[in-house]
Amino acid sequence: MINKESVNKARSLYYGFLSKMFVFTTSDERYAGVNEALEVMIQNPIDENSGEALKEIQAFLTTCGQEALIQEYDDIFHNPAYKVVRNTASYYDEGVESGHQRLAVKNFLAKTKIRRNENYFKENEDSVGFIFTFMHELIELIMQDQKEYANIQHCLFTEVINPFVDEFIINVYEHPMSKAYKSIAIVLNAFVAFERMYFEVAKPPMKEKIRVVKPVEVISGAEARRRAENKAKKEADKAKKTVEV
């Protein structure tokens, strides 16, 4: 049985660090405190694997700098040249952005004094970065003896984070541009395993993907024949030009 009060400071540190890794912002303070957090986490890692991953993140920042981390983030989450990693709970739950999970997070927010700063947080409330920030803030309030927030953090993890986070981690880890983020995915995976023990909740089975399917275009027989004739004519013209050359 985990002594919950004794580990809340470490949990807050991890959520604070992870929020900075996944929040999209143009703020100059984007990575404030990251180096200090890494130093602490490296000294007391969750396990050996994540300890090595933390060292790799630190080495990446030291060698390549914050701009390289920002570029990698953009390549993974925003660059259309690759299959971007979706980062909202709603997408993994329903296959659409701004779905039921966004409403769920907004409802949890409404029960607290925490509010989303729209100047800093550009993405939806159920984005990974915001959810992690929200959890960080909840833990900070709980550590200030505001125990009424303990149930909200439990619900936020079990109902919103736990169902989709494994698929998100895999997508980040397997992305072709993941270098530092491969290590970040390892740290997140270890931390999620710890959180499941903390909340005494099981890892859910990977559910079958549900995605929005575009409606099939319905055309008449005459239109189908017209399209087939046009296609045949184009192919004949192409073949004729090839022969002439």
Residue with tokens 């700098």: 65
Average pLDDT for 33-58? 96
Single out the residue of 205, 130, 127, 124 nearest to residue 162, CA to CA.
205
Burial class (CB in 10 A: 0-12, 13-18, 19+), 133: buried
What confidence tens digit (pLDDT) does each residue in 46-74 have?
Answer: 999 999 999 999 999 999 999 999 999 99
pLDDT at 214: 39
Q: Which CATH superfamily is domain 4-199 in?
A: TorD-like (1.10.3480.10)
Q: Which residue has the higher pLDDT, 102 or 116?
A: 102
Average pLDDT for 194-219? 71
Return the number of other C-beta atoms located less than 10 Å from residue 141's C-beta: 18
Domain ranges of the chain: 4-199
Least confident of 48-62, 83-97, 113-127: 113-127
For residue 96, what is the DSSP state?
Answer: S
* For residue 216, pLDDT beyond 70: no
pLDDT at 152: 96
The band of 8, judged by pLDDT with boundaries at 50, 70 and 90, is: very high
SS3 category, 43: helix
Return the number of other C-beta atoms located less than 10 Å from residue 192's C-beta: 19
pLDDT at 209: 53
